[in-house]
Amino acid sequence: MVKQPLVVASIPIRNVKDLEIALSIKDADYVELRLDYYSSPERIDYTMFANGRFIATLREKSEGGVNSFDPNVKKSLIMLWRKLGILYDVEASFIEKYSVEYNNAIVSIHILSEPKNIIEVENKVIKYLDKAFVVKIAVVPFKGYKSFLAKLLELGENVAVMPMNVEPRERIAFALLGSKLVYGYVTEPTANGQMHYKKIREVLNLFENIN
pTM, rounded to two decimals? 0.93
Active site residues: 110, 136
Number of other CB atoms surrounding residue 146 within 10 Å: 18
CA distance 171 to 173: 5
Higher per-residue pLDDT: 2 or 35: 35
CA distance 11 to 203: 20
Q: How far apart are the first and last CA of the chain?
A: 13
pLDDT digits (tens, 9 = 90+) for 164-173: 988 888 989 9
CA distance 187 to 176: 24
pLDDT digits (tens, 9 = 90+) for 202-211: 999 888 766 5
